[in-house]
Each structure stands twice: as C-alpha cells, then as structure tokens.
Structure 1
Amino acid sequence: MRKNPPENACHGDGDQPETICVMGIGNVLWADEGFGVRCIEALQQRYEFAPHVSLIDGGTQGLYLIQHVQEATRLLIFDAVDYGLAPGTLKLVEDDEVPRFMGAKKMSLHQTGFQEVLSLAMLTEKYPRSVLLIGCQPEYLEDYGGSLRPRVKLALEDALAHGLATLREWGARPTLRTQPLSMHDAVTFCELDLLRYEDERPSETEACRSGDDRFFPATPQTA
C-alpha cells in the first residue's frame, strides 16, 4: 500500500476534521482486477487536490486499510466488482449499501478483506459520512501479468469523470496538474506504471500467464 497523506485538514461538522479519502483497491497483476488501482494512478498523474484529500493505492491490503476508512469523513472507492453485468459497465453504489455490494460475489480475497473493513468501521461507529463505490464489471481476470481489457480501460475514463464530479461536490478542489508527478510522490509504484507494465510484459513463451493450474485453471482469453 502506498499513500499520499493529507497536509492540513479543513474542519467539517463538529470537531471532526474534514478528510477525504480516495482509494483504489485490487491486484494489477491479474488483468481487470487492477481497475481500482489504475484509476488512482491516472487520477494522481492528471490532477492535484486540496490538502485534506488523500489518494491511496490500497492494493490487496484488506484489514490494513481500516485506519484510513475510520479517519475519513468522505470515502471514494474505485474497484472491479462482479455485478453480473456486461464487461466494462460501471455501477455506482452509495453509503450503507457499499459493504453489501462488495460482498455480493467476491472475485478475490481482497474483496473479502475490504468488506470486513467497512463492516468494522460501522461497528466502531467510525464510518464515513459519505461513501461512494465506483465499480466496474471486469471482463477477464485469469491473465497473470496481464493488463486491463480494452472495454475496461475505456470505462476507466468514465469512472474518473464520475469520481471527479463527486470530489468537486465534496470540496476536494481537483485541478489539472501543472508539474509532472515525481516518482517520489507517486502513490503507485513506478515499476508498475500502466504504460511501462504493458510495454515490458514478457511474451507468453517466456512467462506463465494463467497462474498455478491448481488454483487458476487455464481458460481461453477473450481479448
């Protein structure tokens, strides 16, 4: 997990400071499973935000993310979620409904962990005032070292548009980045940058793409 921490938080209602957390979760090594992290990567590369906004690459950290959820007054989540819809379809879910949707049909262990994070935040009465899940229906997952499929990569742009509209309403003050993002400030690892990741991917003859057949039986790729 890598995090871009807030500097000085603005004050919201009561004594709790206004803190906006924008989180992408998932595993970039399994094709469309990396959708959420790729959203965070693109958002940070293109925009700057108010000091009370944190961008977090949550990866597959599960319960280790609890403190960020409990500290947030507003939480925006990007993730690949199996809604049973057409690949690339976005679905927006809000507030108390978010845990239910994240646990409806788990694709991987990271979703089990994050559903528990949200439930624990509710149990401890430290659930954000506002929560928005921007979920994208994946097309293909069992492609180890693979990248987003075209339809999912296209949906990323719509997801960012929805996210930016919400962040403006929340007072995150997104502005186009005027200076290139440095490697030091990036919340995602530069070695896994989307363009570099796709460009340097080994060929199928050089590296296994389907994982261990005991856990991920090889299936024909759809793209």
Structure 2
Amino acid sequence: MDGQRRILVLGVGNILYTDEGVGVRCVERLERDYEFTPNVTLLDGGTLGMRLMDALLNADTAIVVDAVLGGQTPGSIYRCTGDDLRKSLAFKDSMHQTDLVDTLIYCDLLGNRPECVVLGIEPHDYQTMAVELSPLLSERLDDLAAFALKEIEAAGGGFKPRQRLHAEA
C-alpha cells in the first residue's frame, strides 16, 4: 500500500445488550454511509477478543469504538489513549474489553502493537437485552461516527460519503 499507514476501525461490544453494542452499530453506520481509502479496514469485532489478533497485527493504527463507563452523563464521548486505555477497556464485567487489552499486550510481545485509540461513549442502558440502541445513544451515533472519521483522517486514511439513491430516504 505504498507506505500508507494501515488503519483498523474496530467496533466492539455485544449487540444483544442495548448500548453495549454501540461500537458495532457505529462501524455499521460508517460502512453504510462512507467509502474509505484502501488503507482503512472496518471490522465488527463483536466480542471476539483474542481472535482479533491477526487484524491487530496487520494494523499500524487501531481505532476501537466501544461503550465506556467514564462516570459522565450518558451520551458523553471519550477519547482514550496510553494509560487511559486499560482503564477504559476494563470498565465492566464484560469479556471483550479485558480480552482486547490482553490481545494488545500479546501484539506488543510479538513486536507489532498498533497505535491504539479508544473512542468510547457513556452508555445509557447496557443491561437490558435488546438489539436496538437506547434512544439517547441512537441520537448520538452520528456524533460518535464523526469522531471516528476525524481519527481516521488524522491517522492518514481518507473517505467520502457514499452516493445514496433517493428512494432510500
């Protein structure tokens, strides 16, 4: 890819628990609404944990989108890097966050840990079993996607809005 940075946008979370799946829903929105340059890969990481290792080893930059309990009001958006990363990813009893931190540590041991940023949003409801986001986070999804687009651009990726048919409105 002619020296371009390989950017992985990873949506994680369990879509069966309302706002817990916001990272996956954000990646779905990005895939639906934008076309990306070849150096950008979007991936629904769900709750895959260690099975994400190959994708992470092949990335220079990883942008992880997830629900994060940061203590602010629901809908607040966070950007976490460095030491804040472990705190942001280890926030609850869900398996995928801890697995992701461990996976990044293993990538480090193998000598190719991508630069990583977590874009998190404070969930409103992450305990009710439902596949839809809460109304509050549904309203904030475009804002979260905009934050992800800024990170993609800052990392050296490009995008353009998809051409939409008028009948899709």
TM-score, normalising length from structure 2? 0.89
Deviations 1:123-171 (A, max 9, x none): 322111x322100111112221342112212222211111111212222
1:119 maps to 2:109: no
Aligned pairs, number = 165
Among 3, 7, 11, the residue aligned to 2:3: 11
Deviations, residues 40-62 of structure 1 (Å, cap 9, x unaligned) = 00000000011121110000111
Unaligned runs of 5+ in 2: none
Q: Which deviates more, 27-36 or 90-99?
A: 90-99
- Alignment equivalent of 2:17, drawn from 14, 26, 30: 30
- Runs of 4+ aligned structure 1 residues displaced above 6 Å come to none
| Residue of structure 2 equivalent to 1:69 | 56
Q: Distance in 2 between matches of 1:97 and 1:84?
A: 14
Partner of 2:10, secondary structure, is: strand
Q: State which structure, 1 or 2, has the greater radius of gyration over its C-alpha atoms.
A: 1
What is the aligned partner in structure 1 of residue 134 from structure 2? 149
The question of 1:55 aligning with 2:47 is answered: no
TM-score of the pair, normalised by structure 1: 0.69
Instruction: Say yes or no: does 1:136 pair with 2:118.
Output: no
**Structure ranking higher in helix proportion:** 2
Q: CA deviation at 1:95?
A: 4.2
Give 5+ residue unaligned stretches, structure 1: 1-8, 13-17, 181-223
Match of 1:178 in 2: 163
